[in-house]
Amino acid sequence: MNPAKILMGAFLVNNIILMRFIGLCPFFGVSTSLETSFGMSAAVLFVMMLAAWVSWLLYHLLLVPTGLVFLRTAVFILVIAGLVQFVEMVLKKYMRGLYSALGIYLPLITTNCAILGVTFLNIDYRFNLLQSTLFAVGTALGFALAIILFAAIRERLEDSPISPSFKGYPIAFVGASLVSLAFLGFTSLFGISL
Amino acid sequence: MSAPSRWKYFADGIIKENPVLILMIGLCPTLATSVSARDALGMAAAVTFVLVGSNVVVSLIRKVVPGSVRIPIFIIIISTFVTIIDYVLQAYQPALYRVLGVFVPLIVVNCIILGRAEAFAYGHGVFDSLLDALGKSAGYALVMLVMGSIREIFAAGTWFGVAVTPAWFRSAPVLFMIFPPGAFFLIGILKGIVNRLTAGKV
Amino acid sequence: MLQSKTWIVVSLVLTCVIAAVALSQVYAVTKPVIDGQAADALKASLSEVLPGAADFVELEPGVVWSAKDAAGDRVGIVFKVTPRGYGGPITVVVGVDTTGRIAGLGVGSDMKETPGLGQKAREAWFRDQFRGKSETEVALKRDNGTLDAISAATITSRAVTNGVREGMADYIHYLTSK
Amino acid sequence: MDWNLVLISAAGLGGLGLIIGIVLAIASVKLAVKVDEREAAVRAVLPGANCGACGFPGCDGYAAAVASGSAPLNKCSVGGASVARSIGEIMGQEAGAVEPMVAVLICRGGKDVAPARFQYKGAADCRHAALLLGGPKACVYGCVGLGHCAKVCPFGAITMGRNNLPVIDEKKCTGCGNCVRGCPKGTLLLVPRSKLVVLACVSHDKGKAVKDVCRVGCTACTLCTKVCPAGALTMVNNLPVMDFEKCIDCGICVHKCPTRSFIDRARGRPKAVINPRCTGCQACVRACPFKAIEGEPDKQHKVLADKCIGCGECRKVCPAEAIDMVGALGHAHPGKAA
């Protein structure tokens, strides 16, 4: 698989939120405003790359040689949780500015299915380290595209006349359905089939 | 703790505090694996196993767990149960495992389980936590059954594999329901109906 | 005691160890079953496309197997090809009898073709068309052959058909060799 | 029971747990940063699922927002009612100390008195309408009336009235200020609950320009600044600005204003009554801005109830303390002058 296809595949064709349904909790929770969506996307990009590297190295250097493949779920999530907590502390201590913009989203990342989802997909697709990184970046950009696009729609939805029982989540879901429909159009773009 | 209020822990989970439609957590597996009623129930069973297991264990050790590191410990407990169900499914239900795919290991980050472990099991007794887990799982299974059935009937015209619709309907299936947009649309409508029904009460 | 630094680390490690022990046991129990599962599945898919075949000898790992029936004499060969369909690679398993004609065709369920369209390649009517065809006859009607394509899923139909034909061209020589 | 698998896996995961435990333990000591204890208290109550369903980035984000007072207390859906109650207790005490504010609409230009100049068919929200040439209303300063404040009010205290003006239920209003921040025209104002008299106009035009677009708009005639006994009103950019410290809530400006642009939030005002101690010195007759007292000199005087507005000016000047303020319906301190 050439690198561009991996990146585009994860970014558009198989968008992690709209096509694979991974990462929906924060997607609906945080996308109420554009500003929080940007912060969340930056945090996801940052942690997803870190998680992809760490999980790839752990899997191929520790788990496979020792035959402990069955521990991958426990190891990955433990490492991601530890990683996030550590990164949060470092940011809070040394990079105050970055922390105020990015840091508050970090705890949200540990329970984000997208991060763990990427680590598992990297294993399933048998990517090497470079491909894993590209896939992580592509997915994070896809996450960002979906959540920012959706935040703009949701802000507009706030003001449009909707019947009370459909305000909030229901209309958001229907909105997401339409955005997902649009993304469906990207299927097998450039022959990508991730 | 008198019996009726304990029963409430169980009953709440199904309607009043239904994890998916009221608390709006645990959406990823709900939309992804409710492609057919059988797969949806398969996923619900997996989530039930993990939720019940983790709630019970968490409430068992809650007095011993140090506060600052409780999240990693809960995560390890949950991932243990998830790996167990992951390998059990792979061994004894390969067809179902292939459909659920990556969503079985993803149960570990499912907001319902960690949410209930933190919000409930960490502060309640074993029996109450068990009731709460069963209640939430029942609620989750209910939503999965409804979603799975609707999507299967529309897309394949069958219910649990049994043809329930006339032949002409099956020849022109509503494939929209199988694709991701259909899932979003369906849960949006369901949430709208739930809002409508609970408008007065909640 | 509860919040002391040592207990924090010890409790984490203890949980990990207990989890690890539990998981290793589950793994030990289920591993053989899973491997068995995979082997059975493969054997089933191979024998499905070549009736009468009892066991298989792998000629090229994961690609070509030569099949013998219970009595031990050759029944034909089975090969696997993964042509690129509309949504992605499709695994197609083809059984060829000793006369060089197709004895059966299996299409993997893990393909990413569009449900209701490309997925129809797995339906019996499409697969049975290939039965009894020799390499040259394996072509769609529109490519001046004899096989009907799946309506509105030409890419998938053509992918499977061409895949089978190229497979036969590549692996037919195994029929005559050892 | 194949022992080496058990040992390896125990060592592997256990080792990893050990490393992470140690790293985090050291890091939590070395990188410790002080956190506002109220935020920590709220954070401890929150379930910590960090699912983001409350719209805030995780529980820490929400706890920080609640502690800084910029978030409603019931947003945690995972925790449900019990968590909301305990947050209320933690935050409850602090909120009491501050002078409770209430939001007041400072524009009386409903569609009956302030006509529109074009029909607006776009998204039903004031912020959108305001972008279009300042909104459909003839008076570009006034309230657009499309209910943005009603939408953003987390406590449901605002409902849209008959003539397109928001009606604020002062019992439900907690003074959080969402509506004031949200209103594109600034026609909502946070006022201390104890203050009764508020100018209800935001138009910076003068005279005829105001009259053409709104029958109850302030035409900047400056009469109120002259009649105000406490000198609390000063004209700034064609609008009388009230200094809440000086204002004694007497209500004179409300009744003197030719276009009735002031609103009086008191549910009822007292009336002056002259008791027999009156010596007829007529000091009160001269002091009363509304000529509501009559009587011959050196004789018992009488207050004309319909003219008296209960401002208390007469009571201040009466040498014989012959005047009482009576009948304040449901209002704590009638005519502070009394």
**pLDDT, average across residues D113-135:** 85
Q: Alpha-carbon distance B85 to B101, whole Å?
A: 12
Contacts of residue C168, Cβ cutoff 8 Å, sequence gap at least 6: C79, C94, C96, C102, C135, C138
Q: What is the amino acid identity at position A63? A: L
- Ranked by mean pLDDT, the top range of A107-111, A182-186, D99-103 is A182-186
- Over residues D98-102, mean pLDDT: 65
Q: Give A-chain residues touching D57 at CB under 8 angstroms.
A: 30, 36, 39-40, 104-105, 108
Structure tokens of A151?
A: 């935040």
**CB nearest to D123's CB, from A67, A105, A160:** A160
Sign of CA dihedral A109, A114, A120, A126: negative
pLDDT above 70: residue B82: yes
pLDDT score, position D338: 35
Q: Where are the beta strands (DSSP E) in chain D?
A: 101-105, 158-160, 166-168, 188-192, 197-199, 233-236, 239-242, 262-264, 271-274, 293-294, 302-303, 323-326
> Mean pLDDT over residues D292-297, rounded?
88
Residues A148, D282: Cα–Cα separation, whole Å: 74
How many folded domains does chain A comprise?
1
D292 with D310: CB under 8 angstroms?
A: no
pLDDT tens by residue, D44-80: 888 766 655 566 767 777 888 887 777 777 666 566 6
Interface test with C, best of B60, B74, B78, B84 (most C CBs within 10 A): B84
More confident residue, A194 or C9: C9
Query: Across chain D, what does the average pLDDT equal?
Result: 81
- C-alpha distance from C3 to closest chain D C-alpha (Å): 11
Which residue from A71, A78, A188 is facing C86, i.e. has the nearest CB?
A188
H and E: helices and strands count for chain B:
9, 2
Q: Worst-scoring range by mean pLDDT, B62-71, D163-172, D223-232?
A: B62-71
B153 and B164 in contact (C-beta within 8 Å)? yes
Mean pLDDT, chain B, as a whole number?
85
Q: What pLDDT was estimated at residue A57?
A: 92
CB contact under 8 A, B185 and A19: no
With contact defined as 3+ CB pairs under 8 Å, the chains touching B are A, C, D
Domains within chain D, CATH numbers bracketed: 37-98 (1.10.15.40), 101-264 (3.30.70.20), 271-326 (3.30.70.20)
Nearest CA distance, C175 vs chain A (angstrom): 33
Provide mean pLDDT across the span B84-89: 90
- Per-residue pLDDT of A26-61, as tens digits, reads 788 777 778 888 888 888 888 899 999 999 999 988
φ, ψ of residue D243 in degrees (nearest 5): -95, 105
User: A22 lies in a domain?
Assistant: no
- The separation between CA A162 and the C-alpha centre of its own chain, rounded to angstroms, equals 30
Residues in chain D with CB shorter than 8 Å from the CB of B22 are: 77
Give contacts of C111 with chain A, Cβ < 8 Å.
none
Indicate whether A76 belongs to any domain.
yes
Provide the residue range defining the domain that includes A62: 37-179
**Structure confidence at residue A138 (pLDDT):** 93
**D67 Cα to chain C: minimum distance (Å):** 26
The confidence band for A101, taking pLDDT boundaries of 50, 70 and 90, is: low
Contact check, Cβ <8 Å, C23/D14:
no
Give chain D positions within 8 Å (CB) of C15.
17
- CB count, 10 Å around CB of B45? 17
Confidence of residue D329 (pLDDT cuts 50, 70, 90): low
Q: Are the beta carbons of B69 and D24 separated by less than 8 Å?
A: yes
D26 touches chain B (CB under 8 A): no
Segments of chain C scoring below 50 in pLDDT: none
A169 to B196: CB separation less than 8 angstroms, yes or no: no
pLDDT at site D34: 65
pLDDT level of residue B188 (50, 70, 90 thresholds): very high
Q: From the CA of A7, how many Å to the nearest CA of chain C?
A: 16
Q: What is the mean pLDDT of residues D277-294?
A: 87
Q: Residue D140 class from Cβ within 10 Å (0-12 exposed, 13-18 middle, 19+ buried)?
A: middle
Among C36-40, D109-113, D308-312, D320-324, the least confident range = C36-40
Cβ–Cβ below 8 Å for A78 and C16? yes
Whether C9 sits inside 8 A of D22 (CB atoms) is yes
CA of C45, closest CA in chain B: separation in Å?
14
Confidence band, pLDDT 50/70/90 cuts, at residue B98: confident
Q: What is the C-alpha separation between D312 and D334, in angstroms, rounded?
A: 8
Q: How confident is the model at residue B142 (pLDDT cuts 50, 70, 90)?
A: very high
Q: What average pLDDT score do residues D194-204 get?
A: 87
pLDDT of the residue at D333: 43
**What is the residue whose two structure tokens read 């694996």?**
B33
Q: Would you state the pLDDT for residue A21?
A: 83
pLDDT digits (tens, 9 = 90+) for B28-58: 888 888 888 888 998 999 999 999 999 999 9
Residue D106 reports pLDDT greater than 80? yes
Question: And the tokens for D260?
Answer: 């009735």
What is the pLDDT, as a whole number, of residue B49? 92
Q: Are strands B158-159 and B162-163 parallel, antiparallel or unpaired?
A: antiparallel
pLDDT level of residue D97 (50, 70, 90 thresholds): very low
Query: What pLDDT does A143 receive?
Result: 92
Angle, CA of D70, D74 and D76, to the nearest 5°: 100
Residues D178-199 have a mean pLDDT of 85
Beta bridge partners of D139: none
pLDDT greater than 90 at residue A137: yes
Subunit contact D1:C25, Cβ cutoff 8 A: yes
Partners of residue D16 in chain C, C-beta under 8 Å: 16
Structure tokens that stand for C139 in this block: 């072509």
Which uninterrupted H or E stretch holds C55? strand C55-60
pLDDT given at position D331: 42
pTM for this predicted structure: 0.68
| B109 secondary structure, DSSP code | G
B83 touches chain A (CB under 8 A): yes
| Alpha-carbon gap, residue D237 to D232, rounded angstroms | 16
pLDDT of residue B147 exceeding 50, the answer is yes
CB-CB neighbors (< 8 A) of C29 in chain D: none
The whole-number average pLDDT for the span D211-223 is: 88
Q: What is the share, in percent, of chain D residues with pLDDT greater than 90? A: 1
Q: What confidence tier does B70 reach under pLDDT thresholds 50, 70, 90?
A: confident
In angstroms, the Cα distances linking D104 to B8, B150, D202 are 43, 50, 13
Which A residues in the span 80-139 are in contact with C, Cβ-Cβ below 8 Å? none
Give the H or E element holding residue C76: strand C74-81
pLDDT tens figures, C58-97:
888 878 888 888 787 888 888 888 887 776 778 888 888 8
Percent of chain D with pLDDT over 70: 86
What is the pLDDT, as a whole number, of residue D5? 83
Q: Is residue A6 part of a domain?
A: no
